[in-house]
Homo-oligomer: A and B are copies of this chain.
Amino acid sequence: MITIASDFGSPYPAAMKGVLCQRTDARLVDVAHDFPRQDVRAAAFWLREVLPYFPPATHLVVVDPGVGTDRDAIVVRAGEHVLVGPDNGVLLPAARRFAPADDRETYVIDETSLEPVEPTGRGTTPRSGLGREHGDSSGRSETGRRPASNTFHGRDVFAPAAAAVHDADRDALEDLSTLSPVDEYVDLELPAPTLEPAPSDPDCAVGEVMVVDGFGNVITNVPGRFLEGRNEIVADGEIVPVGETFAAVDPGERLATVGSHGNVELDVNRGRGDEAFGLEAGDRVVLEAA
């Protein structure tokens, strides 16, 4: 199985799926293609929360603001899962969730050794002339090999790499000629909150909004147990009831609850928490005992 996640919107992911279908019979499952654009941290958070619900799989991830720069393309084996994507940290929080460091290996992809991606068919190219894509010699190297596009590594680099990795022996990835082990990579850590006076029994949490979901729920990095035993808290200076479910408060009312990822969420029953609390991803948030 290959899962696919990106910030590409539509229809670019279809080209990735086409390449995958050309090269492997793996089952394909979309995770999401509407991650916040070029927001590595938001994608890393969602992947950490969602991917562990899948059985062992190859996870193709393309959230890649540095596409076309010299950032590497990497493969991370983490326990029984394998992740493929850019070396910008987006894979790491999920990889750490999958397996401890002694059961993880990281490889850099030699892009030049991948079989080049070519569109099928032998029809006419556009009347308007040829870009680098379509067979003119100008874009080819001296060996005649067409280089990857500078802007769509999802199609030209990551999808072929994911297909190759999927069909290889997960425990012998070092045998793939396209992969070389590396020790250095961008090791993104999602931010941790400050819990006072003690992490084990906090009365105050200074945290951060990790993401806002499509419902407008404000998902913080404060662990859900901050709400244990509390009927209300003070969030950014205002008293907010604590509920086990949205329905604990009337429609339109605010509440703090523990989200499905285990963190404190600031929500509105049948409404948008982000608007009610005036918060967005990256904002600092202070929670206190009431």
Q: Assuming the A-B contacts A15-B50, A28-B29, A132-B262, are A123 and B151 also in contact, with contact meaning beta carbons closer than 8 angstroms in the complex?
A: no
Chain A contact surface mostly? loop
Q: Please provide the chain A residues from 2 to 20 with a CB less than 8 Å away from any CB of chain B in the complex.
A: 3, 5, 8-12, 14-15, 17-19
26 contacts between A and B (CB under 8 A): A9-B213, A10-B32, A10-B33, A12-B50, A14-B50, A17-B54, A18-B51, A28-B29, A37-B215, A38-B270, A52-B121, A68-B244, A68-B248, A69-B247, A79-B121, A79-B123, A103-B122, A129-B199, A130-B223, A130-B262, A131-B224, A131-B261, A133-B262, A138-B228, A151-B257, A152-B259
Inter-chain contacts of A9 with B (CB < 8 A):
213-215
| Closest CB in chain B relative to A144 CB, distance in Å | 17
Contact of A122 among B100, B127, B213 (CB under 8 A): B100
CB-based nearest B residue for A35: B11
| Closest CB in chain B relative to A72 CB, distance in Å | 14
How many identical subunits does the complex contain?
Answer: 3
A192 is an interface residue with CB less than 8 A from chain B: yes
Mark interface residues in A215-257 (1 if CB within 8 Å of B CB, else 0). 1000001111100100000000000000011111000000001
Mark interface residues in A180-209 (1 if CB within 8 Å of B CB, else 0). 000000000110110100010000000100
Q: Is the CB of B11 within 8 A of A3?
A: no
Q: Is the CB of B68 within 8 A of A224?
A: no
A56 is an interface residue with CB less than 8 A from chain B: yes
The answer for the CA separation of A262 and B261 in the assembled complex, in Å, is 42
Q: Please provide the chain A residues from 82 to 140 with a CB less than 8 Å away from any CB of chain B in the complex.
A: 95-100, 103, 117, 119-134, 136, 138
Q: Please provide the chain A residues from 138 to 168 with a CB less than 8 Å away from any CB of chain B in the complex.
A: 138, 149-152, 155-156
Q: Is the CB of A117 within 8 A of B53?
A: yes
Q: Is the CB of B150 within 8 A of A189?
A: no
Inter-chain contacts of A270 with B (CB < 8 A):
37-38, 65
Contact of A192 among B128, B214, B245 (CB under 8 A): B128
- Give residues in A with beta carbon < 8 Å to B: 1, 3, 5, 8-12, 14-15, 17-19, 21-22, 28-35, 37-38, 46, 49-57, 65-69, 78-81, 95-100, 103, 117, 119-134, 136, 138, 149-152, 155-156, 189-190, 192-193, 195, 199, 207, 213-215, 221-225, 228, 244-248, 257-263, 265, 270
| Closest CB in chain B relative to A117 CB, distance in Å | 7
- With contacts A9-B214, A11-B32, A15-B260 known, what are 11 further pairs, Cβ within 8 A? A15-B50, A17-B29, A65-B247, A66-B247, A97-B125, A98-B120, A100-B124, A128-B223, A131-B224, A132-B262, A156-B260
